[in-house]
Structure formats: structure tokens, C-alpha cells
Amino acid sequence: MIDYKKHKSNFSPYLEKLYQSDKPMIIYKFIDGYKIFTDFSKRIVLNKSNIENFLNNITKKKFKREQDLYVGFFGYEILCNLLNIRIKNQKKNGFYKGLFYKPETIITLSKKIKISSTLKKQNFNYHFNQTKILKPFKVNINFEKYKRIFNLFSKKIRAGETYQIKICTKYKNKSEIDPVSFFWKLMKANSSPEAFMIRDKNYSIVSCSPETLIEKNGLKVTTKPIAGTLKKNQKLNKSKALNFFKNNNKETKEHNMIVDMERNDLSKICKPGSVVIKRKKYVEEYKHLYHYVSTIEGKLKNNVNLKDIIKSMMPGGSVIGCPKIRTLQLLNGQEKEGRNIFTGSFGFIKFNMDMRFNIIIRSILNYKNVSEISAASGVVLDSSSKKEFSENYIKAKSLLELFK
């Protein structure tokens, strides 16, 4: 894996000018390095009325070169809109429901730096935005409020309305940030498979998301659900973490439910009998925690379109709960603040319909000089409200530390 330090040693005057400019850009982690997208010829703001046209129009375009794609995100609310699930009486900050960009320049950071662009000339306006913390972080709900929601959802679980549900807590402060600096600091401290950064004129997102929700190549589609979290300590290693997950009834039930749900989600769009668990119940290691993971693959039906794929797979079940639709309805009835990007999906769609999308967690959204970090942990029948509330903080910790 190509890491942060190797990229920093491969100095590029072009990259330094780009990083210290005001030019909108996206950095996205790939298996063998990173890709940077910039010089956007289109910027498509999604809403309830245009999302279907956006998805339908992609299939009409031709894929001829590397730049023939859109890269961006679906927010939580617009994914609920696609499923005809209502969100009412929530506090919102006016952030975009979804936003996609058409890049004309793509920089690949691997063993070497490769710049591919349809433009003959590059222009940069120097604009370095130093990080400033204007007010400290506060959590949007305290433990007592969390516990009331937890107890209500526990009753819903006992009544059979849901089997698992993920309660969101949000940490917010007033701040200005340099997202490029934050991103590379985060990659140095806590690199993850689905990390990304967006810098635009009026907002930024920095994320160390670990979970691949959809990876489509031709008819092959893969999902990698994460369900199970263990805080790291000096006595633990990956082998001991795996034994903990396998021998813990709560973590095993949670993982099995999410794997079954995502197998079912894939089965809606895949050929009968083609959905298989490719790799079952393994552990991935991160800075502050271990995760319990499985990998599932399937072969798409021939007549499946982009809308079918998005509706079937999003929002990702591992960060919502099970069953998905009823659980979304319960969450939207209790959460008093909009999730914005949290539990939405970031990624790309090529004009040949190949795509890769993550689940947006472990992320900082900075908008109108307010930074917000959201986290959620799973409530099942055997859950403890105190443990789940603490787990949310553990998940947010590596991002909170960037502000120190």
C-alpha cells in the first residue's frame, strides 16, 4: 500500500500550487495510492426532483477516457427521498443533499505522479486557509437524551419492529479548517480504505471512512459490510480481536444480521444464486479500534439500471440497522437534527456504469464555519446504552484529535 510519507517525499510543484490554491478539488484513496480530481467542468447539485434524471443521463454518455465520470456524494436525506421515506421536523443547516463533479484533470499519486488533463493550461490562485478553532466541540445530545432514545428503540426491538438500529450523535464546533492539511494528517495517523477529501468554495469534507458499500466492475458487484467494533488496547492484537468478536454474542448477532441484510440487498439486483460470501468474518485494524468485516459478491442481472443499484444498496445497512426501511422510519421519527452527509455515500460513477461508493462515516463536514463529526453505534437486544454512547466517541476520536 502506498502511504502518506511516500507521497510527501515525491515533491511536485504542481501539487503544492494546487494544495495552496482556492481551486475546488477531490482526493480519493485507491488500493495503490490516491487520485486527485480537479478542474471541474460540471457541478451538479442534486435534489428530490432531478436525481432520477441525473442517474438516467449517465447511461446515455460514452466512456472514452479517464475523465468520463462523475465523482461526488449522495447525502442521507436524498437517499431517503429515493426510497420515498419521509424526514420531518428536523433541524437543518441548508447543506447540499447531493453534489457531483465532472473532472477534466486527474492526478494519480502512486509510485510516480501522473497528471492527465483535457486542459492545455492550468491556473492557480494562491489562497491558504489556516485552521482556526473559534469555539470548542459540543455534542448535540447528552447521555440522558441518548438513553431515552435508546430505551424507546429497545422497546421497538422487543416488539419486533426492528432488530438493530443505529443512533447518531454529532460533535460540532465553530472553526475554519485547511482540509488538505487535515486530510494528509489523518492519512498519516489513521489511513483507511475509503478515505476522501472534498474542497469546494463554500464547504469541505475530510473523511477516513473504512467501508466499501458498492464496487461494480462490469456485472460483478461487491459489498464489504462492517458490523462490530472493539476499542484497542496494549493487550489486544488482530487475532485476539477476532476471538473476541467470534465469542461475543452481541457482536456476532449484529454482524450476522447486517451480512444477511446486505446479501438480501444484493439479491434484489443480482442473478439468482450468484450472491456469495467471498470472505467471512475477518478483522481490520485502525488507530483506535478493530472492526469485524465480511465481503460479499454477486453478478448483476442484465436489465438492472443505476437507480435500481442505488435504491437497493443505499443507505448502507451496516450504519442504519435492520430491516432497513422500518428502521429508517424509526430513526427519522426520533432524530431532531439532519444527518447531512453522514451515512450517505461518496464515490464515482463512470460513464460505462462502473462505480465505487463508500459509506460516509468518520467524516468532518465544515460548512458555514461549523465543523460537524457524526458517529453511530448499533442497538440490539443485548446492548448497553452507556457502552454504545461511549462507542460513538471512540469512533469520532481520531477526527476530534485533528483540531488539537
How many structural domains is the chain composed of? 1
125, three cell numbers: 490562485
Tens place of pLDDT per residue across the chain (404 aa): 334 444 444 568 889 999 999 999 999 999 889 999 999 999 999 999 999 999 999 988 889 999 999 999 999 999 999 999 988 888 899 999 999 999 999 999 988 899 999 998 888 888 877 889 999 999 999 999 999 999 999 999 999 999 889 999 999 999 999 999 999 999 988 788 899 999 999 999 999 998 999 999 999 999 999 888 888 888 899 999 999 999 988 888 888 988 999 999 999 999 999 999 999 999 998 877 899 999 999 999 999 999 999 999 999 988 888 899 999 999 999 998 999 999 999 999 999 999 999 999 999 999 999 999 999 987 888 889 999 999 899 889 889 999 98
Task: State the Cα–Cα distance between residues 336 and 354, nearest whole angstrom.
Answer: 36
User: b/e for 314-341, b at 16 or more Cβ within 10 A?
Assistant: bbbbbbbbbbbebbbbbbbeebebbbbb
Distances (CA, A) of 148 to 87, 143, 216, 321: 20, 9, 40, 18
Q: What is the CA radius of gyration of the chain?
A: 20
Task: State the Cα–Cα distance between residues 38 and 20, nearest whole angstrom.
Answer: 14
DSSP 227-283: EEEEE--TT--HHHHHHHHHH-HHHHHHHHHHHHHHHHHHHTTB-TT--EEEEEEEE
Output the pTM of the full model.
0.92
Helix, strand, coil shares of the chain, percent, nearest 5, are 30, 35, 35
Ramachandran angles phi, psi of 339, nearest 5°: -80, -20
Domain span at residue 9 reads: 4-403
- Asked whether the beta carbons of 366 and 171 are under 8 A apart, the reply is no
Query: Helix, strand or coil for residue 350?
Result: strand
Other CB atoms closer than 10 Å to residue 14's CB: what's the count? 13
Residues 6+ apart with CB under 8 A from 291: 210, 226, 228, 229, 230, 283, 284
137: Cα separation from own chain's centroid: 22
Task: State the Cα–Cα distance between residues 76 and 376, nearest whole angstrom.
Answer: 14
Task: State the Cα–Cα distance between residues 347 and 30, nearest whole angstrom.
Answer: 11
CATH of the domain at 177: 3.60.120.10
Task: State the Cα–Cα distance between residues 376 and 171, nearest whole angstrom.
Answer: 12
Q: What is the largest CA-CA distance in the chain?
A: 63
